Chain A
Amino acid sequence: MSLFLEMHNISKTFPGVKALDHVDLKLNRGEVHALAGENGAGKSTLMKIMTGVYRADPGGSILVEGEEVTIHDPVHARSLGISIIYQELAVVNNLTVAENIFLAREPRGPTGLLDTRKMKADARAVLEELEMDIDPGAMVGRLSIGQKQMVEIARAISYESKLLIMDEPTASLSHHETQTLMRMVKRLSGQGIGVVYISHRLDEIFEISDRITVLRDGATVDTQLIENMTRDRLVLKMVDRELSELFGEHLSHASDEVLLSVRDLSLKRPTTQGARVSDVSFDLRKGEVLGFFGLVGAGRTEVMEMIFGSRPYSGEITIEGKKVEIHDPSTAIDLGIGFVTEDRQGQGLVLGMNVRENFSLTHLSDYCSFDFVRRREEKARCVDYIKSLAIKTPGTEEKVLNLSGGNQQKVVIAKWVARRPRILIVDEPTRGIDIGAKAEVHTLLNDLAAEGLSIIVVSSDLPEILAISDRVIVLREGKVTGELTRSEATQEAVMHAATG
C-alpha cells in the first residue's frame, strides 16, 4: 500500500474554540480508514479541511501523493482526487440520474446545446462499471435514499476520485441498503480507491475498515490497524469511560394497567414512499418502555404519526379505556401524547429560535396570563431542565442551531417532558448522536419510565431497542410480525420477525 494523502500537525481554531489540535492523519491508496469519535470530536472539521471548505491554522501541512498542497475549495479538492459524500445527500431530485452525475460538466454538442445522448451513455457506463442497477434516465426524486447515495458515489467515481469520504453514510439506510453499501465500499477499495468512513455504528466500522483513527476533543488519540482494536477499547478511546459504565442496568417500571390501546390501525392510503400499514394492534402499559423495531419502510414512523394525528388513519385508539379521535397533533398533545420526531432539525426544532423558545413551544400556555408570556418563569423552568438533563449550552438564549446533535436532541426531549405527557413517543432518539450522549438519553428515558411515563421507542438500532425496552413489537411491511417480552427478545428472534 502506498501513501495517498498525509495531513501533518493540523490545527483549527474557531472563535473561542479549538476544534482541532495538532492532528496527524495518513491515508493509503485503496484503504478503508474509519474515523471515529464523539460528536464535536473534530471529525467533520478535519474532513472540511481535507476538502477545502475550511483552511487549517498556519503550521500544518497537507501532502497529496507526496507533494505539499494548499486546498482552496471543494472543486480544487476534487481535482486532486478527493470527494466527499455528506450525510445530507447533495442530489437534485427533479433531474435524472445521468443529469445528476454530470451536473455542472454536462457534455455539449457542437451547437452548444446539451448532448443528452452522450450524457446518458456515459452515465450508463459509469453505473455499469460499478454494477449499480439504476436507470440513468430515472428521476432521482423517485429513487430510494440508498439509490440516491449510489448516484452520488457514481458521480464521485466519474470524477476519477482517488479518495472518497463518507460521512455517516448509513444513518438513513435500511439493513439491506447498508449491506449493498458495504459491498460497494469494499469494491472501491479493491479498485485502489481510498475511503474515509465516518460512522457512529461500531459494527460497520469493524466490518469494513482496514485501519481506524480515533479523535477526541480535537486531538488524535489512537490510530490502529483494525485487527488490533476491540470494541471496548474503541469506546474507551472515544469517550474515556468504560462501556459498562455507560449503559446502566435495565429496570422495568411497567405496571399491568393499560394506558393506550390501539386496534386495527391502518393507513388510509399508502405514503408517497409506498409504505403501507394495516391492522396494527398493540397495548401500552403505564410506566412501560415499548420498543418498536422494523426495517426501514416497515411502517414504524407511520404508525406513530397516525397516533399523533399527523397522518389520517382508520381503526380505533383508546386511552384509559376511552375511545379517542385524533385528527391533528394539537388534539394528540391535549390527550397527553408527546412525540420526539425522527428528524429533529426538520420537525423537532425551530433552528433559528433559542433554547428557551424551543423548550416552551409545547407548553407555552403554562407561563401565560391573558396570552402574555411570563418570561422569568419560562426561563427559570428552562434552566431547571437544562440542569436536570445536563444540556450543554451557554444559556437559555443560545440558538439551538449552535448546539451539538446530542444536545439538540435533549432540548427536544425536554420540551416534551416539560409538558408532562402521559405517553411519550420517541422516534430514533439517538440517531446521529455520539455514544456518550446516547447513554445519557437511555438513562433519561429509563428515569422517565420510573416516574410513571409510558414510552414508545422506535429505533432501527437493534442493540438500542434491546437495551431499553420492556417489550418489543416488530413490524414488517406494515404488519405486526412479532411481540416479544424482554427475555424473549434476542437479536436473532427480533431480526427473524423483522425479516421473515
Chain B
Amino acid sequence: MSKTDTMEVVERRGGILVHVAELRHVREFNVLLALLLVGFLISLATPYFLTTNNLMGVFRAFSLTAIMSIGMVMVIITGGIDLSVGSAMGLASLVTALAFEAGFPTGAAISAGLATGLVFGLTNGLLITAIGLPPFIATLGTLSIGRGLMYMITHGVPVTPETPEIFSVLGQGYIGPVPVPVVIMLVLMIVFAVIMLRTRFGRHVYATGGNEHAARLSGVKVNRVKLTVYVLSSTIASIAGIIGFSRYLSAEPASGFGSELDVIAAAAIGGASLAGGVGSVTGAVIGAALVGVIANGVVLLNINTYAQQAITGGVILIAVSLDVLRNRLSGGGN
C-alpha cells in the first residue's frame, strides 16, 4: 500500500555520512555489529581476548566453517540446502591423504581432493535437477553415503601418510601474523562476494531462489544455476577438507561429521533465509566468526565448555529472530 507518486528517479549520492547511514540497511551490518559487541564484552571480561595470538587462533578455528559457509550460503540463496558438506569435506581430506600415501606429488594429491568435492557436488546437483529430488533428501542421502564410504575405506583407522613440507603450509603456515587458512578464507570470501553481487551468475542465483518460476520464464537456466551451486558447495567444502588435513596431517575417519549444522548456522546467522532469495557470502562468514568468537569467549571465561553448544543455539535463535522482527517492522503492511 505504498503510494508513490514521484515520477522522477532519485539518484543516490552524497558524502560519506550518507553511505554510513545507508549501511544500516545492509543485512550484514547487523551481524557485524553483533560480532563487535560480543567481542567488546569479552574483551572487558578478559585481557587475553584482544591479543594477536588469541585472535589469530580464533580466526583459524572458525576459518574452515566459514569457508564451507561460503558454498552453503549460495545453495541456500537458491532455496536449497546442502546437508552433505561435512561428508564432502571429510572425503576430500581422506582422498588427499590416500593420494599422498600412494606417492602422488602435492599438486596431484590436492587435485584429487578437489576432484572428490567436484564429483560429490555433481552427484548432488544431478539428483536435484535431473531426477528432481528435494535438496534435503538428496544431500541427506549423499551425506550418509559419504560417511559410510569413509568408514569402509579407513576401517576406522586414521590415514597418516608422509607429506612434503610444502603441503603443511596450507594448514599450518602463516603470512605475517595471519594463518594461511584465514588468508584462503578471506580470498574465497572476496571472490564469491564479488561473484554474487556483480555477475550475471550471482544475479541468477538470487532470482532462482526469489521466484524460480519467474526466473525460468525470464530465460534463466534454473537447473544449470542449481547444478553449479551444489558443485561449488561441495568443491569449496573439499578445500576446507584439504586444509584440515594439512593442519593435522591425519585424515580422521570421522572428520567433518556434524559440521553441516555449524555451517548452516553460520549462513542463517549471517542473514540467509532458508526460503531462498536472501543471504550473502560476507554475512555467512561474519556469522561463522560470531560463533567462533563466542566459542573462544566460553573457553577464556572458563565457562563449562558443554555450555558452548547451548550458547551457540541461543545465538542462532536470537540472531534470526531479530532479523525476522526487523523485516516485519520495516516490511509491514499488506
Residues of A that sit less than 8 Å from B by CB: 14, 16-17, 19, 40, 44-45, 308, 310, 328-330, 333-334, 339, 341, 346-353, 357, 360-362, 364-365, 368, 371-373, 375, 383, 386-387, 390, 392-398, 401-404, 415
B54 interfacial contact with A, CB 8 Å: no
Interchain CB contact under 8 A, A386 and B207 = no
Known: A394-B10, A404-B3. 17 other contacts (CB 8 A): A14-B332, A45-B1, A329-B218, A329-B219, A333-B219, A347-B211, A347-B217, A350-B206, A350-B215, A352-B278, A353-B206, A360-B203, A361-B203, A368-B200, A373-B200, A393-B6, A394-B4
CA distance in complex: A403, B2 (Å):
7
Bin chain B's interface residue count: 20 to 34
A-side contacts of B220, CB under 8 Å: 330, 361
Return A196 CB to nearest CB of chain B, in Å.
18
Return A363 CB to nearest CB of chain B, in Å.
8
Pick 6 A–B contacts, CB within 8 A, sort by A: A19-B1, A310-B216, A347-B211, A349-B214, A392-B6, A401-B331
Q: Which of B3, B4, B203, B219 contacts A330 (CB 8 A)?
A: B219
Given contacts A19-B1, A350-B207, A394-B4, contact A362 B199 (CB under 8 A): no
Given contacts A17-B2, A17-B3, contact A330 B221 (CB under 8 A): yes
Interchain CB contact under 8 A, B9 and A402 = no
Interchain CB contact under 8 A, B203 and A357 = yes
Return B229 CB to nearest CB of chain A, in Å.
15
A-side contacts of B217, CB under 8 Å: 308, 310, 329, 339, 341, 347-348
| Interface residue ranges of B125-168 to A (CB < 8 Å) | none
Interchain CB contact under 8 A, A44 and B1 = yes
Interchain CB contact under 8 A, A362 and B203 = no
Q: Once A and B bind, how many residue pairs between them come within 8 Å at the CB atom?
A: 116
Given contacts A14-B333, A17-B1, A40-B1, contact A396 B9 (CB under 8 A): yes
CA distance in complex: A383, B7 (Å):
10
Closest to B275 in A: A352
Contact flags B192-233 to A (C-beta < 8 A → 1, else 0): 000000111101101100110111111111000000000000
Closest to B210 in A: A350
B-side contacts of A334, CB under 8 Å: 219
Given contacts A386-B9, A396-B9, contact A352 B210 (CB under 8 A): yes
Closest to B277 in A: A352
Given contacts A45-B1, A346-B213, contact A373 B198 (CB under 8 A): yes
B-side contacts of A395, CB under 8 Å: 9-10, 12
Interchain CB contact under 8 A, B277 and A350 = yes
Which interface residue of B3, B9, B218, B278 has the most chain A CB atoms within 10 A? Answer: B218
Interchain CB contact under 8 A, A415 and B218 = yes
Return A454 CB to nearest CB of chain B, in Å.
19
Interchain CB contact under 8 A, A348 and B200 = no
Interchain CB contact under 8 A, A347 and B213 = yes
CA distance in complex: A365, B218 (Å):
12
CA distance in complex: A371, B142 (Å):
32
Residues of B that sit less than 8 Å from A by CB: 1-7, 9-10, 12, 198-201, 203-204, 206-207, 210-211, 213-221, 277-278, 331-333
B-side contacts of A333, CB under 8 Å: 218-219
Interchain CB contact under 8 A, B201 and A361 = no
CA distance in complex: A393, B6 (Å):
7
Interchain CB contact under 8 A, A392 and B7 = yes
Return B79 CB to nearest CB of chain A, in Å.
11
Which interface residue of B199, B211, B220, B331 has the most chain A CB atoms within 10 A? Answer: B211
CA distance in complex: A305, B279 (Å):
32
Interchain CB contact under 8 A, A393 and B203 = no
B-side contacts of A365, CB under 8 Å: 200
A-side contacts of B4, CB under 8 Å: 392-394, 398, 402-403
Closest to B220 in A: A361
Closest to A330 in B: B219
Return B73 CB to nearest CB of chain A, in Å.
16
A-side contacts of B12, CB under 8 Å: 395, 397
Given contacts A17-B2, A45-B1, contact A357 B219 (CB under 8 A): no
Closest to B213 in A: A347
Interchain CB contact under 8 A, B2 and A402 = yes
CA distance in complex: A16, B216 (Å):
36
B-side contacts of A368, CB under 8 Å: 199-200
Interchain CB contact under 8 A, A347 and B214 = yes
Given contacts A347-B217, A394-B10, contact A40 B200 (CB under 8 A): no
Given contacts A346-B213, A350-B210, contact A371 B218 (CB under 8 A): no
Return A47 CB to nearest CB of chain B, in Å.
12
B-side contacts of A390, CB under 8 Å: 7
Interchain CB contact under 8 A, A361 and B207 = yes
B-side contacts of A360, CB under 8 Å: 203
B-side contacts of A350, CB under 8 Å: 206-207, 210-211, 214-215, 277
Q: Which of A40, A362, A401 contacts B3 (CB 8 A)?
A: A40
Interchain CB contact under 8 A, B3 and A348 = no
Closest to B276 in A: A352
B-side contacts of A16, CB under 8 Å: 2
CA distance in complex: A346, B211 (Å):
8
Interchain CB contact under 8 A, B219 and A372 = no
A-side contacts of B333, CB under 8 Å: 14
A-side contacts of B5, CB under 8 Å: 392
Interchain CB contact under 8 A, A348 and B214 = yes
B-side contacts of A392, CB under 8 Å: 4-7
Closest to A365 in B: B200
A-side contacts of B218, CB under 8 Å: 329, 333, 361-362, 415
Interchain CB contact under 8 A, B210 and A351 = yes
Nearest 3 pairs between A and B by C-beta?
A: A350-B210, A333-B219, A350-B211
Return A128 CB to nearest CB of chain B, in Å.
37
A-side contacts of B213, CB under 8 Å: 346-347
B-side contacts of A353, CB under 8 Å: 206-207, 210, 277
Return B244 CB to nearest CB of chain A, in Å.
31
CA distance in complex: A361, B331 (Å):
24
Return A26 CB to nearest CB of chain B, in Å.
24
Q: Which of B1, B3, B204, B211 contacts A351 (CB 8 A)?
A: B211
Given contacts A40-B1, A396-B9, contact A329 B216 (CB under 8 A): yes
CA distance in complex: A347, B212 (Å):
8
A-side contacts of B9, CB under 8 Å: 383, 386-387, 393, 395-396
A-side contacts of B278, CB under 8 Å: 352
Interchain CB contact under 8 A, A349 and B1 = no
Return A368 CB to nearest CB of chain B, in Å.
5
Closest to B199 in A: A371
Interchain CB contact under 8 A, B203 and A373 = yes
A-side contacts of B206, CB under 8 Å: 350, 353, 357
Return A258 CB to nearest CB of chain B, in Å.
25
Return A299 CB to nearest CB of chain B, in Å.
19
CA distance in complex: A362, B214 (Å):
10
CA distance in complex: A353, B1 (Å):
17
